[in-house]
Structure formats: structure tokens, C-alpha cells
Structure 1
């Protein structure tokens, strides 16, 4: 056996993408017995005309990419998608089949979200819930898993999934072994809801979707069987309840989940189990389910739906009796609300379809083998995303040097009233005649933990924020100067990941992290003695050894490859922190 290629550069072998599908010799000249080797793999198609010594990739025009997720920029024909083993890619405006795309993220690319009202915000994903976001339209990217523990193998799902909403585009959901993760600030941070039983995890995939009709309704699940159920939330994803199971057939892993554009109690779950239902629909928040793929308890369909893997359902918002289903063998259509199905045969190739999105006047389709496709349907503009009442947002809690706890809130819609709930009790009621961003002050009278949430009311309905907690202390009196050599024990600093110790090899106590410090973690230590900073000639001095991983050669603070660093910041209000100088690493 002779090795011909390697996926890793620098090995001495020609580079050819891994995960081989087939290798076919094609005779070029029978007289000379010359032939071409054609290789199909997860990276597309590559060929060799010299028996495998050198290899070439077919480019531009032969679209073989295997996309899992797709989205489109609102107001522009620009697209983004995540693909098997080839990362996440973004198009330029108005691409055709020969247009080059821009690489955004590596690894396996999965679900994506292009913010509907702010085109500079994009979310992409890599395997096992490794989410990244861009705040500048895809120019730079940063990790977007703050607060989320279900990241990595054994915790996140391999086929990373993001739930998104055009009506509330800051609202996102993901799922993992612990439960359902919620972010109301476009992945600035995440909070966990742990379902009360019947929550499944298999490491491969999970499903979560926000209702297209009402972002207060959120669906999540992994399987439908005796130990796992679909879960639904009616309060914007703060709590979830298990739904009832479909009982006419034995089912299992869910391979897709979708919602209705106008009926918020309606959802669809899809399956890829042979001789069993492929699409279930509920119209009553999961109390009951019906099989609209015609299988029921029988091994074959009675309404034209194929017995193949099924991944997604799209209800047309302008004609909701028209349903599209993405299957392993192409697009199937129903024009009578699921009563009968037929092959759409509308120009889309007979390829596996994993995702479909309506954005503006287009349906955008992610195929698993033939790239991204789109079709323009002008009538879609007659059914835009609904304008809804948004939940209030509790942005952050932060204690100011003056001692008060600052409560940063966003009243994102006009409400009849909003209650600020503090430690389980009503603290304040706010009335707003327009959307309002404001900061409230709560006087801190004793050290402890303060828990805050918001409950807004509009037309008899309730809209809640996530709950946040903050540790508060009684600050010392402000000082003009501060000096500490740590030779005398003090309680002047608080935080996690640091401590004042004298490790082996050191003669005096100092502030230390663990040796070695943890990866993928931001740690901080805060001086809780307020300092009155002079208007001129103020300075801060300290001795330090920053033994942290340096950035790549030539990188500077702010670059994505300027890896670990130390930064010193100050604050006037506990919310906005001002860097006193650029972050630095061991190369300083």
C-alpha cells in the first residue's frame, strides 16, 4: 500500500481533503493507457492526471459543498452558511454560481444567524456548540459562549444549532447536555434553563426553534420516545414544559424542527426513521400531534410522502397552505396544508436539504451536497415578519465605586407598566411611552447577593426578562492614594481566579492566578477601595510578571491571534470599564 495524499500540510504528501467518498479512474487515452483519478471527498472533487503524484481541485462551477445551515442578509442578496468539514463561508453581494466566497470560520460549520435589523452582527458555529460572532459584518470574529458550559465533546452537540428570530433578532437559543441555553443580547452571554425531566442528549444533534409568529414561544428537543420529549416555552424561553408524545408509532431522534409564520401554537418536528412518520405537527402547543406525512402506524405513506430522511419544513407565509419539506432526495411540496405531497420539481436539484429560510422576497436553501440555492418569490414581501411586543432586557448589574448597585435595563417596547423585582419583592414600577434604556440605582446597605428581574405588562399579557444576580459589598471610604505590598492580610480585593498567596519559589505574597491558569476563561480581581483620581499627574504603579501565552509573531492587542493577555481597567459606574492601556502578554 502506498500513501498518496495527506490532509495536513507539511507532511511531504500532496494536500487532498480528508473523509473520502470515492475514487474513480477515468480513461483519458486508451492508446497510451493514461487515465485521470477523480476523488470525491468532504471538500468536493479533486483529480490527478499523473497517477496520484500531484492533485488539483475543481473550482468555481461544480458546487458540491455540504451545508447544514444558511441565512441571508436582510435587504441584500448576501448569504452565509456552515458546511461539513469546510467551515463557515459568506458571499459577497449578488453572487452567481462562479462567485468566490469569503472564509469566516474553520472546523465543521453548522448553524448561522445574520441579525435581521443590524447587518453588522453575525453568529457562526463550529462543532460542539463552539459559537462565534462578528460585530463588524464578518471582518473579525470573537468567541460567543460566555456563561455557557455546554461547549466541547460530551457537553455540546456536534451539529451546533442556533434558534433565531426575525421579530426579536437579539434573542438566541442553543441546546446541550445540561438543557436549553438562552441569550437575549446576541450571544454577549448565555443563561441556562434545565428542563424538569424528559431532556435528552446524544452528543450528535439537538433541535431548538423560536416561533416565527411569536418569540415568546420556543421549542426544543432531541428525541421523542419514552425518556425524551419535545419541550415548549411560552415565556420567551425562561421556563420549559415537556409536551405529550405521539403514540401511533415508535419514534426516536428528531432530525428537524420548525414553526408556523402566523400560528404561534403550531410546530413541526421531522424524523428520519424508516417505515415511520416523517413529519409531525401540533397546533395546540404539543398537547397533541398529527402525522402529516401519511405513515401513521403503517410502513408506507398514503399521501405521497417518501420514506426517506427528512430535515426541515417551511410554511410559506404568503400562502400558509403551501408547505415545503427538505428531504434526503430533494424538495417535496404540499399545497393543501399537508394532506397530500409531491416532488416539487421546480428546478432545485435532487439533493439532501437541511435548512430553508425566508428572508425578504427569497427562500434560501442549504443543500448537503449542492451548495446554497435561492429563489425569489415577490409575494413573500406581502407577509413580512410580525411586529411583536419584546420582552424587557436586564443588561447587567454592577456596583459603582460610590456604593450603589447600578441596574442597567432596556425597555424594548412600550408597556402598560414594568415592575423591577429585587430579591423576590417589587422594588419599583416604571411607565414608558417609548422604548427606553436607563440605569436604576439601588442603595447597598449590607453585603450579600442581590437578584433582579423585570416583569412588563402589555394588553393583559406578561413579558419577563432573564434574572441576574450580583454580589454586593460595603465599600471602604474613597481614598486619594492607595498602597498595598500584600505583606499584611487585607480584604481589599475580590474576584475569582486570583488569590494573594506565596507560592513555592516566591519570597513574598502577591496576587497570583493558578499555576497553570485555566484555558478559555476570563478572570478578574477588583480593588474595592474607591480611589479619587486627580485631574492631572495621576499614576498607577505595580510590579508584575505576566507569564501568559504570547500572541503570534507580529500580532498586537485587538488581533484575534493575540492570544492571552493582561489588562488593567478602571470604572466610574461599575458598568463601563475603561482600559488604562492596551492589554499585554509575556512578550511585553
Structure 2
């Protein structure tokens, strides 16, 4: 069955149309050509595309402006024909060495062959943009200066605002240590997951990628794999794990699958300190700065759990009737009151920001329909301005100074894109926003 399909018309022969279509298994159903504007079609892909995949995610096709038989198309990688589909050759290899002439980042979404420069190809993919000047034989990356990184999460070193970065979609964990926009480098591969800085040392951090893989970084030393000893089934069940460092005891770190894991020696030894809670993945963890014995956990199913003894024992589900039962995206405690806790949730059709003043026993809706009805991703309460409450969501950033009675849109010149994460840097008085598709932004708020 035809699924997602991409079309391209031959500029030099407008009656000629090409199509690449995906199938039910996320592979290539076929590549087709019509010489009569779509009235009849012929299959021209043969078996060449049998190893292509993820076509429901990335699929594209383009035709040379002066040669109707010269076609580029693909999904994970790109393929070329110069004889109308009689023969095909794979022309990009995502697993080649970066900088090699055959390397282009995986997952291709859009191709353009400009008529003003026959032979030139622009390729937009998960790594930004690659370009070929010889019809697709050789490639080079042209992404410098493109602020299009898709961040899952983000952090700024509390002791040095020049050091920041985060986990990104299909581009690993990227950081800079001098604060410049052009010096970000990948420190860990894959789809980058949660990354957090040690609150006392900017040269120490944890980074992760999918399926519960966590690494510890200490200065210039090689990173150390400190992944908890979960079973393969437990690891495979978690996409991105949340990681948080005890702000008062930085050697203590919490993370989670469907249960909570804790280390007190920077990851050298982990122990599970809870059962399966509500059975779904843990999506948020907060250690109260005012009292590290108070640990709050949120889950994909909308559950909220609390420990008042540093993780030795846990409450039942504290998400009462006021809560929407949606994924808990973030938990934040008041800087000086461990029992005052704020929560944001994902989903639509309900409020998204809640406050408890009694350590989760009861909740108050402080969204009250005044915020956009879109998934909310993060919440920040500055330690030096605890009356301010900042939240991010799929439309931007908002702030309240009166406990949620009124909200102000702080998005200003932010691009129209999901605001995926928020960090407040106390030393700089700046609010940082990591977006899912337009990189990192910041604003002075103090």
C-alpha cells in the first residue's frame, strides 16, 4: 500500500513526473515515473532500494533542471540515476567519516537542484544542509551558521555561563566551553539525551543517549560509561532518561526508568531505590534545593510520587483529581521551601501548570486556561527571584509574578518553534531557551 510519497516534475520535460513512495513497513514501496503527467506510471526502482528505511520520516526526490533522466532521491541515504532509472547508485553514506566526499548526514527531507546552477544540489537533512556541485557525486556540509539544531534538553554550567549545551535530535550531545556560537562540538553520539552540569564545577557533567546510556565527564579525561546496571528489557523500554544532581551533594545523582535509580558516588555504583511506581517511564525528577531529602518524581502516565527521606521510601501516587493525567514534563521546587512544588504537563485539552504548597498532598491549577492549550515542557523558579515563575511550551515562553493570577508572554523575538527547555543562570541573570528546531536563545531578565 502507498504511504508517504514525494513527487518531482522534470523542469526540462514538464510532462515527466517522478515519485518515490513508502510502504507499510517503513521501507520503499517503489520509485515510479510517468511520461504523461500522471495518467500512467512505470516502476523504475527495481530492488535497489530494498535496504532503505525510515521512509515515513525522511523521503525526498528531485530532478535535474536540464536532464530529465537525472534524478536524486532517498530517505536515510540518497541515490542517483542519470538514465531515467535504468541504473541506480547510492551516492551518500551516513556512516562514512565526516568530511569524506560521500558523507552526508542521515535522514533526508528536501532536495533542490537550482536551474541557475545545473549540477548543484542542496540537501536538507537531520544534520542541517549538505551540498553537491557535481550532480550528487561529492558532498560537503554547509551548516555553519544555521541555527536549526533540535534540542531535547539543555543545561548551562552554574559556575560558568560560557559552558552550555544539551542533547539533540540525531546530532548527539553538543556543547561549547567558551560561549561562542561557532564552537559547539559533539561530545556523545546518537540521539542526545539528558545532560546536566555539576553545580560546583563547570568541567564536570553527565550526558546520555537513548536506552539508559549515561556517561560521566571530568575535565579533559575520556568520558566514563556510568550507565546503571538495569536489565536489557528495562533499558530498551526507556527512550530518554531524566538525570538530576542533588544541588547540595553533587556526588548524589538520580535517574530513572520505570523505577528510580540513585548513586552517591558520581555513578560508580547505582542502586534502584523504588519499585515500578505506576509502571510507566519516569519523565521528571526534582531534588529540592531547600532540603535534599525531598525528592519528587513524575511519570509518563501523569503520576507524581514523593520521597521525604532521600529515596529510601516513596509515597503513593499524589496526582489528585486536579491533575490531568498527562505526561509530567517538569517538576520544580521553591528555592527555600521544599514543600512548595510546581509541575508542568504535556498534552492538550487541560491546564498545564500546577502548584502544591503541601509537598504534593493537594494541587492548585495556576494555568487556569490563561496559557496556550499546548504541551508545556519546562518550568523555572529563580533562586534570586522566587516570585517569578517561567514556563516554556510549544508556542514560546511565559512568566508570572503573582503566582499565576496573570501571565505575560515573554516570547518576543523567539522563532515560531517549540521551546523545549528552560534554564535560569543566577550568576548572569539570564533565561536560556533551547528550542526544537531553532537552536538556543537567551534573554537578560535580572
Question: Do structure 1's residue 140 and structure 2's residue 222 form an aligned pair?
Answer: yes
- Which residue of structure 2 aligns with residue 175 of structure 1? 256
- Which of 282, 297, 304 is matched with 1:220 structurally? 297
> Residues 265 and 253 of structure 1: is their aligned pair in 2 closer, same or farther, counting only changes over 3 Å?
same
TM-score, length basis structure 2: 0.71
Q: Is the 8 A contact 1:145 1:189 kept in 2?
A: no
Q: Which residue of 2 aligns with 1:233?
A: 307
Q: Which structure 2 segments of 5+ residues have no match?
A: 1-30, 32-72, 80-91
Question: The residue matched to 2:342 in structure 1 has which SS?
Answer: strand
Moved more, 41-50 or 262-271: 41-50
Q: Does 1:89 align with 2:174?
A: yes
Q: Provide closer, same or farther for how the CA distance between residues 25 and 59 of structure 1 changes in structure 2, counting only shifts above 3 A.
A: closer
Q: Does residue 59 of the first structure (1) align with residue 59 of the second (2)?
A: no
The answer to whether structure 1 residue 162 and structure 2 residue 243 are counterparts is yes
Unaligned 5+ residue runs, structure 1?
A: 295-300, 380-588
Closer, same or farther: CA 334–45 of 1 in aligned 2, 3 Å: farther
Distance change >3 Å, CA 348–CA 261, structure 1 → 2: farther
CA RMSD of aligned residues (A): 2.8
**1:192 Cα shift?**
1.0
CA contact (8 A) 2:159 2:202 kept: no
Contact 1:150 1:156 in 2 (8 A): no
What secondary structure is seen at the aligned counterpart in 2 of 1:237?
Answer: coil
Distance 1:121 1:152 in 2: 30
1:9 and 2:96 are equivalent in the alignment: yes
Per the TM alignment, residue 73 of structure 1 is displaced from its structure 2 partner at its CA by 2.8
Larger CA Rg, structure 1 vs 2: 1
Asked if 1 retains the 8 angstrom alpha-carbon contact of 2:189 and 2:209, the reply is: yes
Residues 252-280 of structure 1, C-alpha deviation per residue, up to 9 Å, x if partnerless? 32233333222211222222212112222
8 A contact 1:251–1:276 mirrored in 2: no
Q: Deviations over 1:182-223 (max 9, x none)?
A: 11222121111124x742325xx6221212332221111214
- Cα gap change, 1:140 to 1:198, in 2 (>3 Å): closer
Counterpart for residue 78 of structure 1: 163
Does the C-alpha gap of structure 1 residues 119 and 25 become closer, same or farther in structure 2, counting only changes over 3 Å?
closer
What is the CA–CA distance in structure 2 between the aligned matches of 1:256 and 1:214, rounded to whole Å? 18
Deviation at 1:311, TM superposition (A): 0.6
Pick closer, same or farther for the CA change 1:15–1:153 going to 2, 3 Å. Answer: farther
TM-score, length-scaled by structure 1: 0.55
Residues 314-357 of structure 1: CA distance to partner in whole angstroms, max 9, x if unpaired? 12333323221111222122232222223213444333222222
Aligned partner of residue 411 in structure 2, secondary structure = coil
Residue aligned with 1:264, SS:
strand
CA distance in 1, matches of 2:436, 2:358: 32
Cα drift, residue 283 of structure 1: 1.8
What is the aligned partner in structure 2 of residue 208 from structure 1?
285
Partner of 2:334: 260
Q: Which residue of 1 aligns with 2:431?
A: 363
3-state SS of paired residue (2:153): strand
Query: What is aligned with 1:325?
Result: 391
Alpha carbons 2:166, 2:175 under 8 Å: kept: yes
Q: Aligned residue pairs: how many?
A: 355
Q: Does 1:25 align with 2:112?
A: yes
Alignment of 1:509-528 (within 5 A): none
Query: Is the contact made by 1:129 and 1:150 (CA closer than 8 Å) also made in structure 2?
Result: no
Query: 1:467 aligns to what?
Result: none
Superposition pairs of residues 419-438 of structure 1, within 5 angstroms? none
Instruction: Tell me, in whole angstroms, the C-alpha distance in 1 between the residues paired with 2:342 and 2:176.
Output: 30
User: Is residue 331–residue 350 contact of structure 1 (8 Å, CA) maintained in 2?
Assistant: no
